[in-house]
Amino acid sequence: MAFYKTPWIYKWLKNQPDGLVYMNKVAYTYKGTMPANTSLTLLEGTKGIAGSAFNGCTNLTSITIPDSVTTIGEVAFNRCTKLVSVTIPNSVTVINENAFAECTSLTNITIPNSVTSIRGAAFYQCASLTNITIPDSVTSIEFWAFFKCSKLVSVTFEGTIPPDGFANDKKYPVFSGDLRNKYLAGGIGTYTNRGGKWTKS
């Protein structure tokens, strides 16, 4: 947001009621203390979720995102440690940096066919995530996108990601283990993690 952390935005936010705050048609932030086991449904017609909108909302357990949303900002759900499941609508094209990083209770995430890019650390350290499907629309996966997802045992690639679109950095790998190399050699299919070694099923 252009006015993020400016004196104007702080003054504007101070005058907003507690709870989910919108700026125009963007879910901007959650103001005040979020109650335990909070489930949120964004308004129909919401166009985006601002960067850091729910960052650190440790009482958020579920959120319903309407198909009108086209943008999920950086760090939007970072450290939402009780968030269990998210369905990203088929209107989002990019999953931004750290969007769901350290969502340690996240067990299920649905990535739609509209997504073309999964940015850096998007799902970093989602320690409860066990499986993921990368749709054939995805042409770019950046560093640490699924790194330290310690329970991730199955990854299905439905399409072809070119080598230059699949981040290659030993210090900042996309996945833990050797999945990148196995996928580039084996192509479309499902890969299973056994003791840190990935094999095509």
pLDDT of 130: 96
pLDDT of 3: 45
Low-confidence stretches of the chain (pLDDT beneath 50): 1-3
**Full DSSP string of the chain:** -TTTTSHHHHHHHHTSPSEEEEETTEEEEEESPPPTTEEEEPPTT--EE-TTTTTT-TTEEEEE--TT--EE-TTTTTT-TT--EEE--TT--EE-TTTTTT-TT--EEE--TT--EE-TTTTTT-TT--EEEE-TT--EE-TTTBTT-TT--EEEE-S---GGGB---SSS-SBSSSHHHHHHHH-SEEEEEETTEEEE-
CA triple 164-167-172, angle to 5 deg: 155
Please classify residue 169 by burial: count the beta carbons closer than 10 Å to its beta carbon, then call 0-12 exposed, 13-18 middle and 19+ buried. Answer: exposed
pLDDT of 1: 40
pLDDT of 170: 87
The 10 Å Cβ neighbour count of residue 159 is 13
pLDDT of 7: 76
pTM of the predicted model as reported, rounded to 2 decimal places: 0.93
pLDDT of 66: 97
pLDDT of 5: 58
User: Residue 133 pairs with which residues in a beta bridge?
Assistant: 156
Q: Where are the domains of the chain?
A: 7-126+135-150+158-176
pLDDT of 4: 54
